[in-house]
Amino acid sequence: MLTFIIPVIAEEISDNYNLVLTNLGKTLASVGNQTNADWRALVVSQSRPNIDYIENRIVFVPADFPPAKKYPKDARLTEVKRAVCRRANDLDRARKVRVAAQALHRYRTDFVMVLEADDLVSNRLCEFVAGNGEANGWSIEKGYVWDGKSEHMQRTDHLTSMSGSSWVAKVFYEMLPEKVPLEIDPTTLSLVQSGCPFLNSGHRNMKAVTAQAGKPLEVLPFRGLIYHKGHGANLSQKYTPVGQSLVRRLRHRQRHVLAAPSKKANRVYLTKDIRSEFAINDASGGREKKPSSNGPFVLAN
C-alpha cells in the first residue's frame, strides 16, 4: 500500500480557505484517479477540512498543536520577520507530517509519500509502487510545473529542488518511533531528530539522508507529479518582500531573460492523455463538482 500524507494549512491562518479546499479537492481527485486502488490518504491539519472522508481511504488526522501565527498577506514585514514567518510555517508543516507518520502505526502501509495539498500526482504511481515493493523508494525528479490556468506547463527534471511532493519512501517501522517528537531543538531551530530518515530532513536533502541511513532512493522513471504554483495560496509566496533594491530587481529580470529559451523548449501542452493521467478535466484544472452534504466536492471510488 502507498499512503499519501497531505498536510493542510489551518483555516485560522489561511488568507483564502475556499481556495485551499479547492486545491485540496484537485489533489485528492488525482489520488483517487490511481490505476491501482491500494492507497490511503492521511489529511492532517488543526482544522478539519470540509470534505468527504472515505473510511480507510481518506482519513483526517488532527494536529493537536496551535498553528503558526497569522500575518496579513500584504503585511509590510521586514526581511527578518519574513524569515521568521516562513520558518514557523515550515515547522508547522513538518509537525503535521510527523503527526501523520506516527499514525502509520495504526494505518499500516508499505510506502509513504508527502503530497502537498495543491499538487497533482500521476495515476501510474500506485501501480508502479505496488510492482516494485523491494525498493527503498524513489526520488521524483521529473514532472511538470503549472499555474493551474494555462493550456501549457513547463517540463522539469528538477522537482526535488522545487516541491515537497518529490519522493516516495518505504516505511521501516523499526526506525519509526511510536511517539514521534514534535519539539524544537533550540540549537538548530529544527525539530529534534526522530530516528526515521524521511522525518529528519526536507525534500532537497531526502536522497542524501536516506542514502546515509543505508536506504537509498532510486529515481522514479517517469514524470510523476505536477507542481502547482502561482495560485496565491503557496506558503512560499505568502510573505512578499517590502521592497527590493534596483540591483536585485535587475538580477531577477536577468534570470527570467536567460531562462526564456529553456522555458520555451520545455513547454508542454495539456493533452488529453496528460489531463487523464493527472485528473484534470479542463484547462483551468477544475474537476466536475458534485453536491455534497459534507463539502464542496466528492471523491469517487
Contact status, residue 148 vs residue 284, Cβ threshold 8 Å: yes
Indicate whether 118 pLDDT > 90.
Answer: yes
Q: Would the pTM of this model clear 0.85, i.e. be above it?
A: no
What ranges do the domains of the chain cover?
Answer: 2-277
The CA distances from residue 273 to 63, 147, 176, 270, in Å, are: 37, 19, 38, 8
The predicted pLDDT at position 63 comes to 94
Q: What is the number of residues in the chain?
A: 301
Please give the pLDDT value at position 239.
44
- What average pLDDT does the structure give for the chain? 82
DSSP codes joined into one string, 112-154: EEE--TT-EE-TTHHHHHHTTTTS-EEE---EEEE-SSSSEEE
Per-residue pLDDT, 296 = 37
- In terms of pLDDT, which residue wins out, 222 or 66? 222
| pLDDT the model gives residue 291 | 33
The confidence band for 194, taking pLDDT boundaries of 50, 70 and 90, is confident
Predicted confidence at residue 73, as pLDDT, reads 60
Check residue 289 and give its pLDDT: 39
CATH no. of 2-277: 3.90.550
* Adjacency order of strands within the sheet including 225-228: 120-121, 225-228, 143-146, 152-156, 267-269
What's the confidence (pLDDT) of residue 300?
Answer: 35
State the pLDDT at residue 295.
39
